[in-house]
């Protein structure tokens, strides 16, 4: 086939020609060199936020849930909003690492490592909120089913809140395994490049004695495939179970059969927005423009757009069926969302989640990092507000007008959200320092390396092996 | 390039010797269409309610299959997937049913009063909820929406096929020396995106109008997506069957176990996805137990329960047979499972529609005859669309990739 035609079919993923050793050098540089000034600034800002959060959480635990703005009508507000927001953020990582792997989407190699790391940190942030919401977090182990001395007292297996405990802990475990298994070959690379013995020893233990033999690689690839298969249902199941927390209830705005797939789509949407936010910063700060190219951003923007449209379709379903059902409570809720005390939140949500992402239809927008950055921030805000809208607007006007109430957050709640961002970014900055941010071994397989002849042309055409062998 | 020009020759040769897909199946389909026509006419005379119900179920089922097959192509075109190129025209031609299906759908407007209680002014006048809904659920609006929906489907399916045709023709020119375009799929991708947005939104409307409103007191926000997932899984099964039938006739020698392997993965994945939506809808309604919602599943208990169990067994449990690698590559097994899934999702559509109008499952010559008739028309319409061009488009820029597609 005429090479210019095949190149037009699939442009190479890593477009600036780099040799294999240059790729290794580029990706290991942030791990091996001393951190830059911008890293210090970011890291200490994050740690400061984390400390503020830690102080406020301590205050909340010592004093009680009364430090929050909750009341008997609005029993869930910022806490559970933050929980759902953070769980959702994690979903892009699992989608990239598992589903895109099964779909043979090779562009994932540049972003999967950091997206998976993001998943783990986001789930950690999420886990804090139900924990502190218990009021007595030292009794959190009561959530687990085990034979105990509290009488024949088992947890309520019929409660979606218990399903959540299982879903989230499974998710964290599988994501962490998947992420770590993927890290092994690269940890061995860092080990082999280490210049001092302490470093060699630490990375040696972390790489589980990886020897790079053919047999090891075969085992590794099979394990990776199996974990991808196992993680795929998790992408869907985790946020499905989170949606059950609401949808099994009778509250208008919560009880809706569309919730499971709609939550999953929303989670992937918000997750991709967060991956875009982080990758746009990281590619600039870490000088990874050659690896996280405009083509990668373009692909991620497309997924963001698709999920935005699914979320928009779900909003339309909810509004239409609220009227169509003829149910007074449902239609009141729909009107209350648009015109009630929290109407600004609702309108900002629709603007951020439905209107602004439509800009991504334009190729020019999808390849301008600065514009994507602002769109991704808008989506992050919009998706946080979506959970707030679902939770607070549904609760604050319940079936009995005598128990209607309002809600506004206290400084403790705002500070705790800030603290969770602090935890997330602290973890992320540490990750950038100690682990290779891009899967070195995988990205080499999609790079157009000069001087490798056949291999390069085969990778450019992607799924067309053996081009030269045909008669 | 050699392989692609080779395939051009072989398709030309086969086109000269005989029409693709001709033979016993085609004759059977003609007979089936006649049987269907006769039994539908006889049924309309003897039991119009059953006849209209049977027509609605089968026609909506095959319309869903036709539309979802094009959606499958559009989704792959958007991501520039290469492996599917040998199957593209097979799937695309399934849109051939959209026109006869649209005619039958519009014809069933004549039976609207027999099908939909909201179309009966006397019932509506005595029902507060139906009075509320009559702003939306009334015959003129229903008919206008139906026509718009069907026109959108037909229009976009044609536009997508035309975009593919234009791209493949341009590709031929390029091979004679003109510089290749930077992205040969540019226009196809645009049309695919528009197709997916327009057709998924209108499909939700169609499912709400034609199926959900059979029980106008009941609402489930998930229902349109549920019907779509059922149609999508069925479309994959039909695509598998049609591709294998063509290969066995010698009209699609390009189809290899690797293509079946990927179709098998899709079939498994979307069977599970269907079950996921089934569970989401069922479990949430069961758990909340709000009378006006759970009435839907109450109605499907009793004499319908066995059919529901069969529905889940075929559409959810059986596809697990596809998990081992060897199973997906075995043609006989893929035929068996695809046939079962086509019947299984037919049962699912049947269970969406029938319980609202009948106390016990109506399953006799009327339903079977109509089913055979609609399926035969689907087959003939597909064949007609397929024969307009070569079974495999020689100019498809991704053809080389598809011919050598290898699943590790």
Q: Give the DSSP letter string of B21-40.
A: T-SHHHHHHHHHHHHHHHHH
**What pLDDT, in 10s, does the model give residues B46-84?**
999 999 999 999 999 999 999 999 999 999 998 888 899
Query: B394: which 2 tokens?
Result: 């020689």
ipTM, two decimals, is: 0.90
pLDDT of residue B183: 64
Mean pLDDT of A140-145: 86
pLDDT higher than threshold 70 for residue A210: yes
Chain A residue with Cα closest to B272: A233
Closest partner residue to A1 among B1, B201, B225, by Cβ? B1
pLDDT higher than threshold 70 for residue A2: no
Residue A80 resides in a domain: yes
Cβ of B183 and A318 within 8 Å? no
Low-confidence ranges of chain B (pLDDT < 70): 1-18, 171-184
A320 — pLDDT class (breaks 50, 70, 90): very high
Which residues 71-130 on chain A approach chain B with CB closer than 8 angstroms?
102, 105
Residues in chain A closer than 8 A to B285 (CB atoms): 257
Q: Is B319 helix (H, G, I), strand (E, B) or coil?
A: helix
Cβ of B222 and A10 within 8 Å? no
pLDDT higher than threshold 60 for residue A1: no
Residue A151 resides in a domain: no
Residues in chain B closer than 8 A to A317 (CB atoms): 204, 221, 224
pLDDT of residue A380: 94
**What pLDDT, in 10s, does the model give residues A217-236?**
999 989 988 998 888 888 88
pLDDT of residue A463: 36
Name residue, tokens 């939104």: B201
Q: How far apart are CA A98 and CA A95, in angstroms?
A: 5
**What pLDDT, in 10s, does the model give residues A86-133?**
999 988 888 888 888 888 888 888 888 888 999 999 999 999 999 999
Distance between first and last Cα of chain A: 12
pLDDT of residue A143: 85
Query: A462: which 2 tokens?
Result: 């992607």
Mean pLDDT of A438-452: 70
pLDDT of residue B1: 36
Residues in chain A closer than 8 A to B218 (CB atoms): none
Cβ of B80 and A9 within 8 Å? yes
CB atoms within 10 A of CB B257: 14
Query: B223: which 2 tokens?
Result: 């229902």
Closest partner residue to A261 among B80, B277, B398, by Cβ? B277
The helix (run of H) or strand (run of E) holding residue B66 is helix B48-78
pLDDT of residue A149: 81
Asked if A249 has any chain B CB less than 8 Å from its own CB, the reply is yes
Residue A112 resides in a domain: yes
Domains in chain A, number:
1
Residue A29 resides in a domain: yes
Where exactly are the structural domains of chain B? 24-388
pLDDT of residue A361: 92
Rounded to the nearest angstrom, the minimum Cα separation between A318 and chain B is: 7
Burial A445-457 (b: 16+ CB within 10 A, else e): ebbbbeeeeeeeb
Residue A457 resides in a domain: no
pLDDT of residue A15: 67
**What pLDDT, in 10s, does the model give residues A242-292?**
999 999 999 888 999 999 999 999 999 999 999 999 999 888 888 888 888
pLDDT of residue B179: 43
Cβ of B288 and A236 within 8 Å? no
Domain membership of residue A332 as a residue range = 10-136+158-446
pLDDT higher than threshold 90 for residue A443: no
pLDDT of residue A454: 34
Q: Nearest-CA neighbor of A257 among A317, A313, A309, A311?
A: A317
Residues in chain B closer than 8 A to A314 (CB atoms): 221
């Amino acid at each position: 086939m005429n090479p210019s035609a095949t190149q037009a079919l699939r442009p190479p993923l890593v477009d600036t020609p780099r040799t294999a050793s240059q790729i290794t050098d580029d990706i290991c540089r942030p791990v091996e060199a001393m951190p830059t000034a911008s890293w210090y600034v970011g890291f200490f800002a994050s740690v400061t936020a984390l400390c503020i959060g830690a102080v406020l959480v301590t205050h909340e635990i010592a004093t009680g849930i009364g430090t929050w703005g909750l009341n008997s009508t609005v029993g869930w507000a910022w806490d559970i909003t933050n929980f759902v927001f953070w769980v959702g953020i994690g979903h892009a990582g699992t989608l990239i690492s598992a589903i895109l792997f099964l779909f043979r989407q090779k562009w994932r190699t540049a972003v999967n490592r950091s997206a998976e790391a993001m998943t783990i940190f986001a789930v950690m942030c999420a886990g804090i909120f139900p924990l502190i919401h218990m009021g007595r977090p030292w009794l959190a182990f009561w959530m687990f089913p085990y034979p105990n001395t509290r009488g024949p007292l088992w947890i309520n297996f019929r409660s979606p809140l218990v399903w959540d405990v299982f879903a989230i802990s499974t998710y964290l475990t599988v994501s962490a395994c998947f992420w770590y298994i993927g890290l092994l070959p690269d940890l061995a690379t860092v080990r082999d490049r280490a210049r001092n013995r302490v470093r060699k020893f630490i990375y040696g233990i972390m790489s589980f004695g990886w020897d790079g033999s053919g047999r090891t690689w075969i085992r590794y690839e099979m394990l990776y495939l199996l974990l991808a298969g196992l993680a795929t249902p998790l992408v869907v199941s985790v946020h499905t179970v989170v949606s059950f927390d609401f949808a099994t209830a009778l509250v208008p705005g919560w009880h809706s059969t569309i919730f499971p797939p709609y939550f999953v789509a929303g989670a992937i949407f918000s997750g991709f927005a967060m991956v875009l936010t982080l990758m746009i910063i990281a590619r600039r700060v870490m000088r990874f423009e050659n690896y996280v190219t405009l083509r990668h951003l373009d692909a991620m923007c497309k997924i963001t757009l698709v999920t935005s449209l699914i979320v928009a379709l779900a909003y339309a379903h909810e509004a239409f069926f609220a009227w169509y059902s003829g149910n007074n409570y449902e239609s009141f809720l729909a009107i209350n969302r648009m015109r009630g005390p929290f109407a600004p939140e609702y309108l900002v949500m629709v603007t951020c989640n439905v209107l602004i992402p439509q800009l991504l239809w334009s190729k020019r927008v999808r390849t301008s990092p600065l514009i994507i950055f602002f769109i991704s921030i808008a989506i992050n805000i919009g998706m946080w507000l979506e959970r707030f809208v679902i939770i607070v607007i549904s609760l604050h006007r319940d079936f009995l007008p005598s128990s209607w109430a309002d809600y506004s957050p206290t400084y403790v709640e705002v500070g705790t959200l800030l603290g969770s961002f602090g935890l997330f970014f602290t973890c992320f900055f540490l990750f950038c320092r100690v682990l290779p941010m891009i899967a070195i071994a995988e990205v080499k397989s999609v790079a157009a390396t000069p001087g490798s002849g056949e291999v390069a042309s085969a990778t450019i055409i992607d799924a067309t092996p053996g081009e030269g062998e045909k008669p | 390039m050699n392989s692609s020009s080779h395939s051009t020759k072989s398709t030309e040769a086969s086109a000269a010797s005989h029409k693709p897909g001709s033979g016993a199946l085609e004759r059977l389909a003609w007979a089936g269409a006649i049987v269907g026509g006769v039994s539908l006419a006889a049924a309309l005379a003897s039991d119009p309610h059953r006849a209209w119900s049977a027509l609605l179920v089968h026609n909506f089922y095959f319309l869903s299959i036709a539309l979802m097959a094009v959606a499958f192509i559009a989704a792959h075109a958007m991501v520039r997937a290469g492996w599917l190129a040998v199957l593209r025209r097979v799937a695309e031609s399934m849109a051939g049913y959209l026109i006869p299906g649209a005619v039958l759908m519009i014809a069933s407007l004549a039976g609207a009063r027999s099908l939909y209680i909201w179309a009966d002014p006397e019932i509506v006048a005595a029902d507060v909820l139906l009075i509320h809904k009559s702003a939306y659920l009334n015959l003129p609006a229903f008919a206008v929406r139906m026509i718009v929906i069907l026109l959108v489907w037909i229009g976009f399916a044609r536009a997508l096929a035309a975009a593919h045709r234009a791209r493949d023709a341009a590709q031929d020119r390029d091979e004679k020396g003109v510089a290749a375009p930077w992205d040969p799929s540019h226009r196809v991708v645009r049309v695919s995106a528009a197709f997916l947005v327009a057709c998924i939104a209108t499909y939700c409307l169609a499912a709400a109008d034609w199926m959900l409103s059979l029980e106008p007191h009941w609402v489930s926000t998930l229902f349109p997506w549920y019907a779509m997932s059922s149609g999508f899984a069925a479309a994959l099964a039909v695509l598998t069957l049609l591709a294998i039938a063509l290969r066995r006739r010698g009209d699609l020698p390009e189809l290899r176990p690797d293509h079946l392997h990927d179709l098998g993965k899709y079939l498994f994945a979307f069977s599970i996805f269907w079950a996921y939506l089934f569970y989401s809808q069922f479990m949430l309604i069961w758990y909340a137990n709000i009378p006006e919602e759970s009435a839907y599943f109450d109605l499907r208990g009793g004499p319908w329960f066995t059919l529901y169990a069969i529905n889940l067994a075929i559409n959810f449990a059986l596809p697990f047979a596809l998990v081992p690698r060897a199973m997906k590559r075995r043609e006989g097994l893929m035929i068996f499972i695809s046939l079962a899934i086509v019947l299984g999702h037919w049962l699912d559509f049947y269970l969406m529609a029938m319980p609202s109008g009948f106390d016990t499952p109506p399953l006799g010559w009327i339903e079977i005859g109509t089913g055979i008739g609609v399926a035969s028309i689907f087959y003939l319409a597909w064949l007609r669309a397929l024969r307009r061009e070569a079974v495999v488009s020689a100019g498809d820029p991704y053809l080389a990739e598809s011919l050598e597609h290898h699943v590790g």
